[in-house]
Amino acid sequence: MSIPPNKLKPEPQGDHTYEGPLSVLEVHLDKIAWNYLSLKKRLKAGADCSAIVKADAYGLGAPPVAKALFDQGCRHFFVSTLDEAAAVRHVLLQPDVIIYVLNGLFGAPLKEFFDMGAVPVLNSMSDIEYWSDFARASGKKKPAVIHLDTGMNRLGLSAKEVTALVRRNDLLQPIDLRYIMSHLACADQPQHPKNLEQLSRFKQLSAELGIACRYSLANSAGILLGDDYHFDLVRPGCGLYGINPSIGVPSPVHGVVTLRARILQTRDIDQPGTVGYGGEYKIAPPAKCATISAGYADGYLRSLTGHGAVFINGKKCPVIGRVSMDFITVDISALEQSPRVGDWVEIIGPHQTVDDVAAQAGTIGYEILTRLGKRYKRSYTGN
């Protein structure tokens, strides 16, 4: 069956064509590099700076991001799973690049870690036993990081398990222990008492283990807590990607994405009505609205209903009506010059940070970035 060509394309308005993508996600690798170097500059002498590139570099694309960071001197990369490690290793074959797998050994064939030059983070006694047995059987020491729980109660050895491990020192003998690490729960709140508690528990548990080793504690926000938290290796994630690590302070990092989508239709409201599903948003003339090609399937969260906004020619236009799967509708009545079909609107960019969008959605920048959809045409700039 053939469709008449004039039904395929709406009539073009003005000189705008219908070519090109409906939405574009630009990732500015030069800004990621700048954020890395500026975080690194804050470190005490002797501390090294890794990069957390888990979850596909917080949704931005681990291979190009890891390559850009490698060019800035980064040699330590943390991912969550062995599959993620493979994606990074694929583009960084250099033997001095070390890829750490945060989620531990669970479900992964042990030999693959080793073959890939990936270093597992051992989160439990059973992880340690497995890795130790594997190393012993292979007749060669195998590298690993040991994770101590200092108050997050998520992953890592408890104080009791540390005591048990001390009693079974044979377990560590075949392990080439690269770092002892822990993770901060409240580092984004510099005044939170848990920061100092975790710091002192980290030192105390490490002392109890009694192994000469290097240490790692700080995420992005932990870096900002000061030298005491830096130890030998820091592990920034969000700060690299332009998310402000700490709450209520000016951001020390630059935004790294520009997210834009096109206007698909504009509409003059000439009689009272409602906008979108549920008919909850009431609109009365005179008003103008525009329909934009992004929705919750693209990661423009449905919770932005009633709270979101986009920028058109630098002017803020509120989202009206419910966010739907593929579209949002925005009020453009306040614009002096009406935008046209095909014009771009800014969702994240110079006028609105990822943290702003997160605040509108009632979530955090991490969630906004990691949910960015597959339909955006991605481009990488500044490499």
Ligand X SMILES: *Cc1c(COP(=O)(O)O)cnc(C)c1O
Alpha-carbon gap, residue 36 to 322, rounded angstroms: 38
Question: CB of residue 286 vs ligand X: minimum separation in angstroms?
Answer: 46
Stretch that binds ligand X, among 81-89, 127-135, 161-169, 233-241 (CB under 6 A): 233-241
Alpha-carbon gap, residue 72 to 68, rounded angstroms: 7
Near ligand X by CB under 6 A: residue from 219, 246, 258, 329: 219
Residues contacting 217, CB < 8 A, separation 6+:
181, 182, 183, 184, 198, 199, 202, 229, 230, 231, 234
Stretch that binds ligand X, among 133-141, 214-222, 282-290, 333-341 (CB under 6 A): 214-222
Question: CB of residue 235 vs ligand X: minimum separation in angstroms?
Answer: 4
Question: CB of residue 154 vs ligand X: minimum separation in angstroms?
Answer: 9
Stretch that binds ligand X, among 5-13, 28-36, 234-242, 246-254 (CB under 6 A): 234-242
Between strands 377-381 and 142-147, the pairing is unpaired
Angle at the Cα of 360 from the Cα atoms of 356 and 364, rounded to 5 degrees: 65
> Phi and psi of 292, rounded to 5°?
-110, 145
Question: Does residue 178 touch ligand X according to CB under 6 A?
Answer: no
Task: Report which residue's Cβ sits closest to ligand X.
Answer: 237
Q: Pattern of binders to ligand X over 77-106, x per CB under 6 A? A: -------------------------x----
Question: Does residue 242 touch ligand X according to CB under 6 A?
Answer: no
Q: What number of chain residues touch ligand X (CB under 6 A)?
A: 12
Minimum CB distance to ligand X smaller for 230 or for 288: 230
Question: Does residue 220 touch ligand X according to CB under 6 A?
Answer: yes
Question: Does residue 174 touch ligand X according to CB under 6 A?
Answer: no
Question: Does residue 198 touch ligand X according to CB under 6 A?
Answer: no
Dihedral angle sign, alpha carbons of residues 370, 371, 375, 381: negative
Minimum CB distance to ligand X smaller for 220 or for 291: 220
- Token pair for 31: 């800004």
Structural Rg of the chain based on CA atoms = 25
- In 193-275 the beta strands, taken as DSSP E runs, fall at 214-216, 233-234, 257-269, 273-275
DSSP 148: B
The single residue listed with the structure tokens 């609105």 is: 352
Between the two ends of the chain, the Cα-to-Cα distance in Å is: 46
Alpha-carbon gap, residue 253 to 243, rounded angstroms: 7
Near ligand X by CB under 6 A: residue from 29, 33, 52, 157: 52
Stretch that binds ligand X, among 166-174, 190-198, 216-224, 339-347 (CB under 6 A): 216-224
Question: CB of residue 273 vs ligand X: minimum separation in angstroms?
Answer: 44
Dihedral angle sign, alpha carbons of residues 29, 31, 34, 40: negative
C-alpha 363 chain-centroid distance: 13
Residues annotated as catalytic (active site), given as ranges: 54, 277
Question: Does residue 238 touch ligand X according to CB under 6 A?
Answer: yes
Stretch that binds ligand X, among 17-25, 104-112, 229-237, 247-255 (CB under 6 A): 229-237
The helix or strand, by DSSP H or E, that contains position 66, with its residue range, turns out to be helix 62-71
Which residues between 310 and 339 bind ligand X (CB under 6 A)? Answer: none
Near ligand X by CB under 6 A: residue from 28, 31, 178, 235: 235
Contact 367, 325 (CB under 8 A): no
Question: Does residue 120 touch ligand X according to CB under 6 A?
Answer: no
Q: Which residues bind ligand X (CB under 6 A)?
A: 52, 54, 102, 183, 219-221, 235-239
